[in-house]
Amino acid sequence: MNDTSDSNDISSAFGRGGKAPRANRRVLPGFGLSLGFAVSYLSLIVLIPLAGVFLRASEISWEEFWSIVTSRRVVASYKITFGISLAAAATNAVFGLIAAWVLVRYSFPGRRIFDAIVDLPFALPTAVAGIALTTIYAENGFLGQYLYPLGLETAYSRIGIYIALTFIGLPFVIRSLQPVLESLDKEVEEASATLGAGRWRTFFRVIFPAILPAWLTGFSLAYARAIGEYGSIIFISGNMPLRTEITPLIIVQRLENFQVAQAAAVAAVMLVASFAILLVINVLQRWSESLGQARG
Amino acid sequence: MNSHRHSKQHRVRSSALPQTRSATTEAPWVRTVLISLATGFLALFLLMPLFTVFIEAFRSGISAYFSTFEDRFIRHSIRLTLLTAAVAVPLNLVFGVAAAWAVTKFDFRGKSLLVTIIDLPFAVTPVIGGMIFILIFGAHGYLGPWLEGVNFQVVFAFPGIVLATTFGTVPFIARELIPVMQAQGRDEEYAAMTMGASGWRTFFKVTLPNVKWGLFYGVILCNARAMGEFGGVEVVSGKISGKTNTMTLQIQQLYFDYATVPAFATASLLAILALLTLLLKNIVERLSGRES
């Protein structure tokens, strides 16, 4: 039915250089089909099920909800999940910046291998990472045997959680920074050097402001990913209440005890936190894009 | 005194490094330090866990490694994982293509909201990805009593595993496709349409060949993520060995039972899959770079 109007719109669209911001809705076919399918699919698989969490959490009274989500054990788990995730994301921010810089700017043997392997935490199942890291950092493990005598209990501890979350978040800062570093105009750095700035000064005054939004985006992505992480943590953390118990594990345990409303309450808190971080990431990405467009 | 030191420093620097160092790179020692830090960090966090999987898998020799896969429960978990991915990946493929077509070929209000919602499952803990389907289809869920009436089990059964896996892997194909199709623009499709091609013909003959590599990598990545899904299926599957244990759940059970070699041998299959995925990503990037 829409087809009859298409030919008219195509000519008018081409008349405006093929851009046609408003008319193009009818130029190419399948708008209704593709958008309709995408939205229905997302609603069925993602949105309605997630809404179920809030619906179930709303079945209990506000006082009860509040006492569940602020109970001692749950609050301790927030501190572990959100606190150690922050430490891991910060570690990735520092080393990810160095790694991205080195991978983009320098040539050295093995550079391509290192560049290719950066995505490993993205492709390797978290359970596999969990058992591998636990084996390395356990008391008799490859690295644990040297770290334990130094007083560093690297497995079944918060340090273990930190190690696993650093692994999980590793790709994000590097992959956010690489394209921006590649697109930087070398002439600006040359100009800075010509005007007498040293390399450090050039970095902090010229390069760093240009990569800041991408850097923060990578940091936030690593943080968001770390907060939700479950698979690798349950192997390396030891899962001790109040000490190494993460919030997603609390949800799992409440479900296993058939305390569904309690699980939903804690899950609702985590969902709100995830939404908030996703929003921040969106703002950062838009900032990054506008800087990129300004550069041309 | 200050100016004296400054000029001396300047003289030393220019004599020691004639023309080799441009103004836009760092001193050799800085480069060495930075390269060491970066490669050390990547080796510690990426290479070491990867090697550990294979070292532990072959700890008792090659025959012990291969005899792992004669175990009935492990074989079943591999079959279940393959079957789950065989349902979840095509679902997300159709969704990914539809979403990318809508987002990149048209302008509409709420587009950025749609893209954000596509990302949502990636930001949400996988545990919630399993829990939501218990809330709906579980014994005490909204549709639980009705499902019991028609004698159809979702939770602690294959449909639940597929749903949790599909939820967790929703973003991956769409996310790979959208930037590629964005970069491709709309002009070629406009041209095909003016020359009288139908919508489907335009899609299969013009759009698809242009984005095939991005789409291919998206499918492979989605597959790797589907086979590696853990938190969601752990909650929804009931973890019954030989019935609802996927590979990752079987690995967990073996590991907690101190069956280290079988656990790592099964894990090594998923590690190989991850390595193949990374290899493919590099090939695709090189190929698409050459084409453009």
> Do B216 and B141 share a domain, yes or no?
yes
B1 in any annotated domain: no
Give the model confidence (pLDDT) of A1-32 as tens digits: 344 334 334 333 333 344 444 444 457 888 99
**Are A218 and A175 within 8 A, CB to CB?**
yes
> Do B44 and B97 share a domain, yes or no?
no
CB contact set of B26 (below 8 Å; sequence gap of 6+): A199, B34
> Do B78 and B52 share a domain, yes or no?
no
Residue of B nearest to A97 (CA): B38
- pLDDT value of residue B22: 64
Give the total number of structural domains in chain B: 2
B177 in any annotated domain: yes
> Do B183 and B283 share a domain, yes or no?
yes
CB contact set of B202 (below 8 Å; sequence gap of 6+): A28, A29, B189, B192, B193
A230 in any annotated domain: yes
Inter-chain Cβ pairs, chain A and chain B, closer than 8 A: 295
Give the model confidence (pLDDT) of B168-185 as tens digits: 999 999 999 999 999 888
Instruction: Indicate whether B241 pLDDT > 60.
Output: yes
Domain extent at residue B198:
62-291
Domain extent at residue A225:
59-295
- pLDDT value of residue A291: 82
A41 in any annotated domain: no
Calculate mean pLDDT across residues A144-166: 96
- pLDDT value of residue A92: 97
A274 in any annotated domain: yes
Interface test with B, best of A41, A115, A128 (most B CBs within 10 A): A128
**CATH code for the domain of B281:** 1.10.3720.10
Which residue among A98, A224, A251 places its CB closest to the CB of B37?
A: A98
> Do B168 and B257 share a domain, yes or no?
yes
Domain final position from B42, B57, B72:
B57
> Do B181 and B200 share a domain, yes or no?
yes
B282 Cβ under 8 Å from any chain A Cβ: yes
Measured from the Cβ of residue A258, the count of other Cβ atoms closer than 10 Å reads: 12
Residue of A nearest to B97 (CA): A34
The better pLDDT of the pair A222, B240 is held by: A222
B10 in any annotated domain: no
B183 Cβ under 8 Å from any chain A Cβ: no
A3 in any annotated domain: no
Q: Which residues of A touch B91 (CB under 8 A)?
A: 41
Only one residue has tokens 């340090």, namely A159
Distance, C-alpha A240 to centroid of its chain = 26
Only one residue has tokens 């990472």, namely A129
Give the total number of structural domains in chain A: 1
DSSP conformation class of A23: G
Which 3-state string (H, E, C) describes A153-184? CCCCCHHHHHHHHHHHHHHHHHHHHHHHHHHC
Which residue among B116, B142, B167 places its CB closest to the CB of A45?
A: B167
